[in-house]
Structures are given as structure tokens and as C-alpha cells.
Amino acid sequence: MDKKHKFETIETAWCPGCGNFAILDALKETLTELKVKPHEVLIVGGIGQAAKTPQYLNVNGYESLHGRALPPAAAAKIANQKLKVIVNTGDGDSYGEGGNHFIHNIRRNVDITHFVHDNQIYGLTKGQSSPTSDLGHITDFTPEGVIDRPINPVATAIALGAGFVARAFTGDKEHLMEMMKEALNHNGYALVDILQPCVSFNKVNTFAWYSKRVYKLTEGKKYDSTDKGAAFQKALEWGDKIPLGILYREEKKSYTDHFDFLKTTTLLELPHDKKVVRGFIEEFF
């Protein structure tokens, strides 16, 4: 097969050892396994190191403004449901600058997949605290340590009614790919918060720090990911133990399922109907 019909990665500007590599690799392999074609995929990013992901894969790429990955991604999916629309962007982009879009795109429930490269730090701007930085974290802007409480993205997403909420870790590629696959197959908005070390600017939440704490929800006692109460309880767990896996899952209508005229075609393919508009004009006669 011609090279451009397979998923290929392109040379990146990431630091050696960055967690982004694992995400890019996992994504490439997952998409290959799902048998979609590169031209059928649209990856949208905001601004940041993670947000450069669309640049590094031979798919349709949309690098938006900082914090503004979700709105165009949702609209692109609404306009052309044949595209597999993925958002790859960071914790600052998703939960800070784009916080309002995070909230409302959960409500909107467009069939898009949101992979948050969550390294609890700002990388591109060289080491400021992020919305997920833990209390006390000393950064450039917080020499005395962070005093603002961190956002809990998975608990927030569950509280807002997201239909698919998962957490993964770049240290476990197989599990990460499984989460990606499940998220990509979910009809509606799916969030995967991916824990990822920043080797250059986060000296606290390192690979070892995460490795020591993470465990899979599927390990041990049986976990029911459709039980919202249990999901919320697990979502609040953070610190010594951090759960990985599908925290919550609920099948519901996605945005475009509400429109009869999108059942058999896409917005893009709809022909222009002059007669209908002529009728609207005549209502004013």
C-alpha cells in the first residue's frame, strides 16, 4: 500500500523522553487497528506542545487557537459526520483557557473524542502551573507553591453528564490504546485524561511518581462503569492511589442523532434547496 494511505508519523519538536511520543504512537496504532484511513481522520489541537499532535501525523490537521480546539472540532463533526474527529491537546488548553468549551461540549455531546495530554504543567511556555497542578507545586509563577485547588477533570466530566470518561497513563501503552479504542468507538463526546510526564518542566509528577500510584480499575474487585455513584467516588480518588480505566460510561444520543435530516446524509452533502428559501421569502409578501 502507498505510504500516504497508512498512518505515518512526522518528525516532532518534542523533548526526548516526552510522554507525547507514547500518545502519538498509541494513537497511530489504534487508528490503524480501527481500519480508518488517514484522510478520514481530523485531529484538532489548540496551542501547546500536545496541541502540535495534528502536525505529526499524516491526517487532516487543524491547529486552532489556545483553548479553542473543542468548538471547531464539534462543528467539523456536525458538518461532516464521515470524518473521525479527535481532539489532542493539553491540560492548560482543555481545562484552563478552554474551560468553558470543556463544560459546554459535554452538554453538546457531539461524537468527538478528546484526548487530554495531562502533564499538570505548562510546557510550551516553560514551566508554569496548570489547572491540574497539585497544591504546593512550585513553579515559575508560584515560587511559594500552588495555592489554587486543582480541577479534577474526570469528576467534573462525570458531574456534567459526559457519556464516556476514562483515565490512562503513557507508561502503559497497551492500556492507553484500549482506552483510545473504546473512546473512539463511543457515540458522543468521550474524554480520556492521559497522565503524561513532562520531562523538562515537571520535576514532581515524573514517570516514577505516576508509576508508583496508578492502578487499573479492572484489577481486583469488579468495577461497574455504568454506576454513576461509584464512578464519582473513584473519580475523586487522587494522591497515593490513582485509578486508570473507564470510570464512567453511558450510552445516549449524540448531537447529530437529534436531526432527522442527518440520518442518511451529512450537512456537507445536502444539496441547496432554492425552493424552500423562496417559500420563506414569500411568507413576507
Instruction: State the residues that interact with other proteins by CB under 8 A.
Output: 2, 4-5, 10, 13, 37-40, 42, 44, 47, 52, 54-55, 58-65, 68, 70-76, 78-80, 82-83, 100-101, 103-104, 108, 259, 261, 267-268, 270, 272-274, 276-281, 284-285
- Calpha distance 7→9 (Å, rounded): 7
Distances (CA, A) of 175 to 43, 54, 178, 240, 278: 21, 22, 5, 20, 55
- Calpha distance 248→183 (Å, rounded): 11
Tell me how far, at minimum, the Cβ of 49 lies from other proteins, in Å: 12
Name the β-bridge partners of 89.
116
| Nearer to other proteins (CB atom), residue 147 or residue 276 | 276
| Nearer to other proteins (CB atom), residue 58 or residue 128 | 58
| Nearer to other proteins (CB atom), residue 47 or residue 192 | 47
Tell me how far, at minimum, the Cβ of 103 lies from other proteins, in Å: 7
**Coil, strand or helix: which one is 252?**
coil
Tell me how far, at minimum, the Cβ of 219 lies from other proteins, in Å: 38
Tell me how far, at minimum, the Cβ of 236 lies from other proteins, in Å: 26
DSSP for 92-132? IIIIIITHHHHHHHHHHT-S-EEEEEE-SEETTTTSEE-TT
| Nearer to other proteins (CB atom), residue 110 or residue 190 | 110
Sole residue written with cell 461509584: 230
